[in-house]
Structure 1
């Protein structure tokens, strides 16, 4: 009798684990709708109801943390201070790691739009400081009585670029974490990277930071985890490489799985049915109504 009563009690109050909502992450803010990694893109993402802002950071010559996917000015989207488009030949010369931030903000990376994303609204915008982005977002949430969002921050790092277009891992990580920790608690952010050296360093030096392994190879979950040497909080592969058995394996190993970059509603729905914990998308407007 006591066992039956206990079971009924469990069923009524749910003894099972409470399911977390799907984590919809706006890739570079909302790159499909507004210029990537810009203040307008992040505000648009919030308008579309994302739960997490996904973004990238690089470092300037004067050690400022800038929100940018690339460590140089892209010819496809950026214009010089005189209004002329950056040429392909000039890209590598316009190395942000060799520029002070005062110079970086002279470049408009939004007015020309992006040929890959025809729906993107053309608007003049510059690469913002990470500190300014977080402050603006937090003020916006507070002023509009909106729920808190997460920040999934990618340290854009490539081993061959150490001391060329970026600092080495230790300095890079310290600069980024110094900005974040002044403004966010540990539960509000994750650090992601394709560079496993970054993740290994942070796992050892800052074990309380939640880490995300970005993956774009087809080596498989076990091989990538062996190369990493530990189990991160999140495994984030290119969505095309992901099948249900991988999702199940990732969960068995105690990780969440959040694939990138999913820009088709049907693909989103399939992945949700297969059990992903979230999706990273350029079009957060397409993810509305998705539920685990």
Structure 2
């Protein structure tokens, strides 16, 4: 079985997360899959952002879209209350740590004046690279406990599926969510597309009573892969996942010793902020490495 390296938010430990330059460099480094996050704006555009409100860590205001814009400053505002044009004024290329020992601020290369991209722009970028060997893992950000911040799950899923289909990527993508309502709708819309049931201890209550067999519940909800937080992974969970016929892709693992333990347990994929570290571990273990994607060349060269 191939064991995969999944770049988390591109490669958050190396470059600004969920950005075109960060995703470009991650593809050129070499990963099996690019993981990214999407949310819906006030004008129904799909944008890359991990948070349902504009993060003060990953985003900085530069100017209002127009003089006297009542929504300005945009940092801290809900994504679904702002238009794409407003969000595009933000600088998302410099991480602003809440505390001085933020590990990502210490290792991430700043890229000032980077703008928040749309999902369509990312798909265009991947197609420009002709990166058929890189699967796109699109996490749909949805929180059923905060409906005021969250798009209708059916509409949201349909928009993402349509965008992937429009760019010819539906067969080489995966849809991910902690909100398993999205997985069920995705199973009806795009049964051939992989669906990752994200799970962590803090959101177990979103799904009601799961019983003691989380993988079986994830499969029933429409998942084709179980993607748990690494602290949840043990021999029992792996045995349950095998019984449910689900692969396990574990997140977010940045320590190579921990990654080695996960590999020993039999996970099929490791989601990481540092795919460079995982590539070294893969070499040491003789695992098949993902090929780097060649850099884009200027037209006519």
Same fold (TM over 0.5): yes
Identify the TM-score tier after normalising by the shorter chain.
Answer: 0.7 to 0.9
| Match in the other structure for 1:260 | 251
Q: How far off its partner does 1:245 sit?
A: 3.1
- 1:170 maps to which of 154, 175, 181: 154
- 1:63 maps to which of 21, 24, 44: 44
Conserved in 2, the CA contact under 8 Å of 1:231 and 1:255? no
Conserved in 2, the CA contact under 8 Å of 1:166 and 1:172? no
SS at match of 2:37: strand
Q: How far off its partner does 1:224 sit?
A: 5.6
Q: Is 1:50 equivalent to 2:40 in the alignment?
A: no
- 1:153 maps to which of 127, 138, 153: 138
Q: How far off its partner does 1:252 sit?
A: 2.6
Q: RMSD value over aligned CA atoms? A: 2.3
- Structure 2 residues without counterparts, runs of 5 or longer: 65-72, 205-209, 289-301
Equivalent pairs counted in the alignment come to 262
What is the TM-score normalised by the length of structure 2? 0.80
| Match in the other structure for 1:282 | 273
| Match in the other structure for 2:184 | 200
Conserved in 1, the CA contact under 8 Å of 2:215 and 2:241? no
Q: How far off its partner does 1:44 sit?
A: 2.1
| Cα separation, 2, equivalents of 1:266 and 1:234 | 24
Which protein shows a greater Rg?
A: 1
1:42 and 1:220, CA in 2 relative to 1: closer, same or farther beyond 3 A?
farther
Q: How far off its partner does 1:45 sit?
A: 1.4
Conserved in 2, the CA contact under 8 Å of 1:200 and 1:228? no
1:237 and 1:264, CA in 2 relative to 1: closer, same or farther beyond 3 A?
same
Q: How far off its partner does 1:29 sit?
A: 0.2
| Match in the other structure for 2:299 | none
What is the TM-score normalised by the length of structure 1? 0.82
SS at match of 1:81: coil
Q: Is 1:137 equivalent to 2:126 in the alignment?
A: yes
Q: Is 1:96 equivalent to 2:85 in the alignment?
A: no
Moved more, 165-174 or 225-234: 225-234
TM alignment of 1:227-238, pairs within 5 A = 229-230=220-221, 232-238=223-229
Q: Is 1:120 equivalent to 2:108 in the alignment?
A: yes
Conserved in 1, the CA contact under 8 Å of 2:29 and 2:276? yes
Moved more, 276-285 or 215-224: 215-224
